[in-house]
Structure 1
Amino acid sequence: MADIELFILTGIIVTLLFGAFIVSFLLVNQKRHFRYLREKEDIKNTTAQMLLQSQLEIKEQTLQHISHELHDNLGQVASLIKINLNTLQLHDEQKALQKIEDTKELVRQLITDLKSLSVHLNSDWAVQVGLLRGLENEVERLNKTGQWQASLKQEGPLPDLDANTTIFLYRMAQEILNNTIKHSSGKHVAVSLCTTGNLFTLVFTDDGVGFDPEEKTKSGGSGLMNLQHRARLIQATLNIQSAPANGTSIAIELPL
């Protein structure tokens, strides 16, 4: 009889312990699930904030580009048109016809440039034209300054990137190139896009003064930290190779 009671008591204790284990397991699992959802929501909110910031920065950079174009390019063309019309000599028919043809060509150029700028005013321009065309625009902008010799090379097919990834990559490219202009004191910059297997790589190389990436990171360089943060948000890796007096190479590696 005592053995039966002991057996029943042992069974009850084991059952209670097992039940307590199940409840504890469910509670821990639920807590982990809630923490996962909270972290996922935090990442989502951070990504949304960074995406908005990137869009605003692209828009600001675009407006600066348009401002320079209006002042340096379109303004100059418009001035030439005005000069041609003011100096038109109607008594000399041959010279007048030539100047009219020259003016018509200037007007065509002005219209083309205005159409190009109107496209840039679209907030979704970078997404609509794609990463490659956006980078071509940045290279053209550098070459127009006359202070840089910039080139763009593509290897392999371009991956089908979603809108958010395109915006992040394009803004990172703008930031890298702007930092190159401001700090590198170089003359040449090369941009390359390469797709091999399941990896898309975007590389920026210059022949400037270079820097110590580790020292820059330790000193709290916000530019590098910002680039690294944006790279992580799209599951990309940022690799920087640079040294004083040896130029800089920055690679963004995006798994596909």
Structure 2
Amino acid sequence: MSIFRTFILSFFFISASIAFGQKKTVTSETKINFSENLQKHNTSEIHHTEKFKSKETLSLSIVLTILVFILFFFFYQNNKLKQTIKRKDTKQKILLNVINAGIDSQEIEHKKIASFLHDNINSLLSSVGLHLNVYTTQNNIKSEEIRKAKAILEEAHDLLRDMSHDLVPTLLVRFGLIYALEDLCERISNSSLKFKFSSTISTEKRYSEKFEMKLYFIITELFNNIIKHSDAKKAHITLSEKQNQFTIMIHDNGIGFKTEKLKEVEGFGLNRIRARIKKYKGSITINSKPNEGTSIKIQVPIPH
């Protein structure tokens, strides 16, 4: 009986040991499987993270490449625009220099011709007239042919004097810009068009001869435009000087034009005026409306 009990106990002990060993094996296998699954999951996560980082890097590279391309494009266009503007400015400067050189040489020639006409031809004609008068008086000669000859000499003298005055006005040289412009307004005014003159500058004020001549010819060209194109009845010029700036205001009550079409109506005369003003670092502003006349403002620094 005791042997049988011993056998039973031994059987249960062995069975328990086997069961415990199997349970331990299963637990160990479970742990191993869990570790393997965890490792696989971590590997997958790492792979996924690396893949995501690769995509981010690629996307960032593409964005940077696009940004660099855009910046390069804008830099290229800006540089191209600067070169275009520079070429345009260079062409404009060359054109202005050519125009101003032509104007300067023309004014020099005008002065030479005017001086030659006044000092030589007119003097000769006056001398001929004087000798003729002395001869006819001394010999008491009354001839129709001599009378006609005297009249022709006087007419030639007057024509040459007017021509000389148009080239370089005597009043401008002798008495200055303000006096010459006041006289000009009186001379060109007529029953159809009245030029009014006003100035806050004394008529005795003088500037450099070159400065006065350029301003005088600028104003005469503007007056010619009013006479030829404006169909105005009245025109008014105002002169003033402030803070070393010489200001000219000219207004007419003519037909006017649309300011946005100014380039269409610009002729060589206006280009010459702009060139002269720009040479002195001045400015010109033109405002006009159809049937409301035209206003022109010119400001030029006074040279010292």
Smaller-chain TM-score range? 0.5 to 0.7
SS at match of 1:152: strand
SS at match of 2:191: coil
TM-fit CA distance, 1:161? 2.1
Instruction: Report what 2:187 is aligned to.
Output: 141
TM-fit CA distance, 1:172? 0.7
**2:206 maps to 1:153:** no
**2:216 maps to 1:170:** yes
TM-fit CA distance, 1:169? 0.6
SS at match of 1:254: strand
The aligned amino acid for 1:171 is F
- CA RMSD, 1 decimal: 3.7
TM-fit CA distance, 1:48? 4.2
The aligned amino acid for 1:138 is L
TM-fit CA distance, 1:210? 0.6
Once the two structures are superposed, the pairs formed by residues 245-256 of structure 1 within 5 Å of their partners are 245-256=291-302
List alignment gaps of at least 5 residues for structure 1: 1-39, 61-109
The aligned amino acid for 2:300 is L
The aligned amino acid for 2:282 is A
SS at match of 1:209: coil
Q: Distance in 2 between matches of 1:241 and 1:185?
A: 17
Match of 1:53 among 67, 89, 106: 106
Instruction: Report what 1:236 is aligned to.
Output: 282
Match of 2:165 among 95, 120, 127: 120
**1:217-256 Cα deviation digits (max 9, x unpaired):** 1565323222111111122211111111110111210123
List alignment gaps of at least 5 residues for structure 2: 1-92, 114-153
Percent of counterpart pairs with the same letter?
27
**Is this contact kept in 2: 1:51–1:167, CA < 8 A?**
no
Once the two structures are superposed, the pairs formed by residues 17-166 of structure 1 within 5 Å of their partners are 47-54=100-107, 117=161, 120=165, 123=168, 125=170, 126-143=172-189, 145-157=190-202, 160-166=206-212
Normalising by the residue count of structure 2, what TM-score does the alignment of the two structures yield?
A: 0.46
Structure with higher RCO (Cα < 8 A, 6+ apart): 1
Q: Distance in 2 between matches of 1:215 and 1:59?
A: 39
SS at match of 2:176: helix
Greater shift after overlay, 177-186 or 226-235? 226-235
Residue correspondences, number:
166
Q: Tell which structure's C-alpha radius of gyration is larger.
A: 2
SS at match of 1:201: strand
**1:177-230 Cα deviation digits (max 9, x unpaired):** 010011111100111111122211011110000112331215653232221111
SS at match of 1:231: helix
**Is this contact kept in 2: 1:157–1:195, CA < 8 A?**
no
Q: Distance in 2 between matches of 1:248 and 1:179?
A: 11
Q: Which is helix-richer, 1 or 2?
A: 2
Distance of aligned partners of 1:163 and 1:41 in 2 relative to their CA distance in 1, 3 Å threshold = farther
